[in-house]
Amino acid sequence: MRALVVVTGLGLVTPLGTTAEETWNGFLEGRSGIRKIDIFDSDRYPSSRGGVVDRTALPQGTRHDPATLLVLKAAEEAIRQAGPLPERTALVLGSTLGSMPAATEYVRGGCARAGLLREMLAQTQARIVCDRFGLRGESLVISDACASGTNALGYALRLLRSGNADAVVAGGYDPMAEFSFAGFHSLQAITSKECRPFDRDRSGLLLGEGAAILVLERENGKTPLARLAGYGESADAYHITRPDPEARGAILALRRALKDAGLEPGDIDHVNAHGTGTPSNDAMEAKAIREVLGNVPLTANKAAIGHTLGGAGAIEAAVTVLSLRDQVIPPTLHHENLDEACAGIDVVSRRRDCRMQAAVSNSFGFGGSNAAVVLTTP
Amino acid sequence: MNVWITGIATVSKERTLESRQARRMARVSRFAMAAAGEALRDADRKPDPDMGIVCASTHLSTQYALEFHQGFLNEGKPTPGPILFSNGCLNAAGSHISLEYGLTGCNRNLVGGMNVGIHALGVAARLLEDGPCSAILCVACEEISEILAGAYRKFRLAPPMTLGEGAAAVLLEKENRGRGVRIGAFHTAHGPDIRHDVEGRTIAQALEAVGPAELYSACANGTELDEMEKRAVETVLPGVPTFRVKDSLGEGFAFTSLAQVTGAIASNPGTIVACSYDRTGDVSAVRLG
């Protein structure tokens, strides 16, 4: 029989707050963490807004870059909640670009400070987390674009089931970086208005920054927050940046996650959607959810905090854990009118209390990486 | 582990690719694509949709990342080319391979230090054992660019590091089709900064965890780390001959980590232990055969 894997600790740093409870309350209250970006000259761009974390609430007086501070803060909260960890505790992080602001600083400074290039590497953030918390198991960084965080949780689940780790500190992060801001502008994916997932007036995404860390362990007597019951992944093999409009890869990942969890579509009570607010991604995701799960209540967190890239999957999985804990679905900010292309899904636009036992969190990254996790009440 | 390496490839020079995508790819992705194709040919296996890709790199395309930066920093273009951006992201090489061969099993991209090639091999083997893929291509790739070479010059390593570039690839299958090499054991862990581990304990633990060997494929990168590796090998694998790829390939980070496996398999049919480590304290070791 397979080992049951549970969430024993959780940490969140987002534009809505620098703890899990602050963030959760922000989502429930329908607050927005979107504001003008002032950490670089955003006025040069068609849109200058995004989700930026209150940097004054991050640890001060260190030489660490913002990416490291985000992930350290989230890890500290999660590990404190989980309590003592066994010796073979692994670290699995997801990040799209590591600490790209350090690379930008390197180039801006005429490539003089080579140490910045080392700081940029995602493995540097992993090393700092391992050394800070004394983690001596496997240390891995997954970079599957926007599916990185979810795939990190999926790999962690496998490590625990196979006995290759006794606990895993897993999650994702990405800082707001001018590199990705310019990049998503160049892809014409960023809206100059609000991010409105699944809405007929949606016109693109807004970027954000943040981190989420979950401590995962085999069931061991600690009081769990939720159970990580299943994981599925797939690749589109369709286009280097565009999702497959037929949603074949997304459908496959969802079906694999359900099968892995030993659940039927009718068992799923809620979906925390990838919901970027771009026309093509939302239509694709709606098709996948409709086809696999039917008309399940769903929410999309990116409208409130922006798209946190490598952090997104882990943040949304963490929010799903809190939804299951409190039996409430937070609203999808700015969603008013369901788009026809997304018909047949139930987008929660006002906070909804409901009984839930199982929920799915989806992530789809460009390059065609699809991932879904199934979380259940303990 | 019930996983076999059925095809290998080591590519350290640019090849002409037939793929239309290749024109826009960063050099590192072209290396990766060439190695993936050669590993499939070596295994005499056609790609199928249930196959997956696991791709590792330490820096991926620093050249494309630099050019994209120059676009918005120096030239003042708020939206420089989308091709530079999408190809400068860390999952570009794996995604191109998935796209080229229609691989939908998984598209897993790993970043890490000098051990990440062997680490990727272990991750790929685990994914194949536990997951839905019919086979997995595992690729590790690196490119040298002016910005990367300049940065490593500034690190003033003693003795200086000779950089290398290219890609290594292996095809992993669940069954041996005649001439495969079995992955016997895999171990990876994070230890203290390797420069402070004078006895090479983390490396020794990794070697002990994967077991005995007839040939040792060394990380031996010609920097100050070698003495620790030597001590660990003398303790755990005394008298076992050592094989080095970096003498001929240079320090290719992720690439040369996996090339320790492809090179050793190509030269020796016996039991091989390959071990890679990074200054961050990450160590990965695998036993083959």
Q: What is the mean pLDDT of chain A?
A: 96
Amino acid, single-letter form, for residue A33: G
Q: How far apart are CA A135 and CA A153, in angstroms?
A: 17
Distance from CA of B267 to the nearest CA of A (A): 29
Instruction: Give residue B217's pLDDT band: very low, low, confident or very high (50, 70, 90).
Output: very high
Lookup: tokens for B272: 């091989």
Lookup: tokens for A185: 């502008």
Inter-chain touch B154–A114, beta carbons under 8 Å: yes
pLDDT tens digits for range A342-377? 999 999 999 999 999 999 999 999 899 999 999 999
pTM of the model: 0.97
Residue A123: closest CA among B282, B123, B268: B282
Chain B residue with minimum CA distance to A236: B104
Share of chain A above pLDDT 90, in %: 91
Share of chain B above pLDDT 70, in %: 97
Residues A77, A79, A84, A87, Cα dihedral to 10°: -160
Instruction: Give residue A265's pLDDT band: very low, low, confident or very high (50, 70, 90).
Output: very high
Inter-chain touch A103–B69, beta carbons under 8 Å: yes
Inter-chain touch B52–A235, beta carbons under 8 Å: yes
Inter-chain touch B80–A155, beta carbons under 8 Å: no
**Residue A316 CB neighbour total at 10 angstroms:** 29
Chain A residue with minimum CA distance to B281: A127
Instruction: Give the angle subtended at the CA of A336 by the CAs of A331 and A342, to the nearest 5°.
Output: 90
| pLDDT (mean) for A189-203 | 97
Q: In this predicted structure, what is the pLDDT of residue A299?
A: 98
Residues B231, B236, B238, B242, Cα dihedral to 10°: -70
pLDDT at B160 over 80: no
Rounded to a whole number of angstroms, the distance between the first and last alpha carbons of chain A is 18
Contacts B280 to A, Cβ<8 Å: 123-124, 126-127
Residues A132, A133, A139, A145, Cα dihedral to 10°: -80
B152 touches chain A (CB under 8 A): yes
Amino acid, single-letter form, for residue A108: R
| pLDDT (mean) for B29-39 | 96
Residue B201: closest CA among B211, B209, B191: B191
Q: What is the mean pLDDT of chain B?
A: 91
Instruction: Give residue B279's pLDDT band: very low, low, confident or very high (50, 70, 90).
Output: confident
Interface contacts (A, B; CB < 8 Å): 202
Q: In this predicted structure, what is the pLDDT of residue B96?
A: 96
Which residue's entry shows tokens 């996983």?
Answer: B3
B216 touches chain A (CB under 8 A): no
DSSP code per residue over A247-305: -HHHHHHHHHHHHHHT--GGG--EEE------HHHHHHHHHHHHHHT-S-EEE-THHHH
Contacts B149 to A, Cβ<8 Å: none
Distance from CA of A191 to the nearest CA of B (A): 14
Distance from CA of A287 to the nearest CA of B (A): 18
Q: In this predicted structure, what is the pLDDT of residue B280?
A: 86
pLDDT at B251 over 60: yes
pLDDT at B105 over 60: yes
Which residue's entry shows tokens 């990405």?
Answer: A174
Q: In this predicted structure, what is the pLDDT of residue B223?
A: 54
| pLDDT (mean) for A8-35 | 98
Interface test with A, best of B24, B98, B126, B190 (most A CBs within 10 A): B190
| pLDDT (mean) for A78-100 | 96
Residue A173: closest CA among A63, A76, A78, A99: A99
Interface test with A, best of B97, B108, B154 (most A CBs within 10 A): B108
Among the partner-chain residues A127, A182, A365, the one whose CB lies closest to the CB of B72 is A182
Q: What is the DSSP letter of A4?
A: P
Interface test with B, best of A99, A164, A178, A234 (most B CBs within 10 A): A234
| pLDDT (mean) for B130-152 | 93
Q: Please list, residue by residue across A178-207, b when 16 or more beta carbons sit within 10 angstroms of its beta carbon and e when fewer do.
A: bbbbbbbbbbebbbeebbbbbbeebbbbbb
B86 touches chain A (CB under 8 A): yes
Name the H helices within chain A: 20-28, 66-82, 100-108, 115-120, 122-133, 148-162, 178-186, 248-261, 279-292, 302-305, 312-326
Q: In this predicted structure, what is the pLDDT of residue B196?
A: 83
Give chain A's count of helices (H) and strands (E). Answer: 11, 15
Amino acid, single-letter form, for residue A222: K
Instruction: Give residue B221's pLDDT band: very low, low, confident or very high (50, 70, 90).
Output: low
Q: How far apart are CA B112 and CA B117, in angstroms?
A: 8
Q: In this predicted structure, what is the pLDDT of residue A168?
A: 98
Instruction: Give residue A10's pLDDT band: very low, low, confident or very high (50, 70, 90).
Output: very high
Instruction: Give residue B78's pLDDT band: very low, low, confident or very high (50, 70, 90).
Output: confident
- Identify whether the C-beta of residue A342 lies closer than 8 Å to the C-beta of residue B69: no
pLDDT tens digits for range A154-184? 999 999 999 999 999 999 999 999 999 999 9
Distance from CA of B107 to the nearest CA of A (A): 5
Residue B76: closest CA among A166, A376, A108: A108
Instruction: Give residue B222's pLDDT band: very low, low, confident or very high (50, 70, 90).
Output: low
HSE-CB for B62 with a 13 A CA cutoff: 24
Share of chain A above pLDDT 70, in %: 100
Give the residue numbers of A annotated as catalytic, written as ranges: 146, 274, 307
Enclosing H/E stretch for B43: helix B27-43
- To the nearest 10 degrees (0 to 180), the angle between helices A148-162 and A312-326 is 70
Enclosing H/E stretch for B138: strand B135-142
Q: In this predicted structure, what is the pLDDT of residue B95?
A: 97
| pLDDT (mean) for A76-87 | 97
pLDDT at B66 over 60: yes
Instruction: Give residue B74's pLDDT band: very low, low, confident or very high (50, 70, 90).
Output: confident
pLDDT at A19 over 80: yes
pLDDT at B286 over 90: yes
B112 touches chain A (CB under 8 A): yes
B222 touches chain A (CB under 8 A): no
More confident residue, B17 or B175: B175
Q: Helix, strand, or coil here: A372? A: strand
Peptide bond into B159 cis (omega under 30): yes
More confident residue, A209 or B87: A209
Q: What is the DSSP letter of A158?
A: H
Which range is least confidently modeled, A134-148, A278-292, B76-90, B229-243?
Answer: B76-90
Bridge pairing between strands A226-235 and A270-272? unpaired
Distance from CA of B276 to the nearest CA of A (A): 14
Longest alpha-carbon distance in chain A: 58
pLDDT at B159 over 70: no
Lookup: tokens for A12: 């969140």
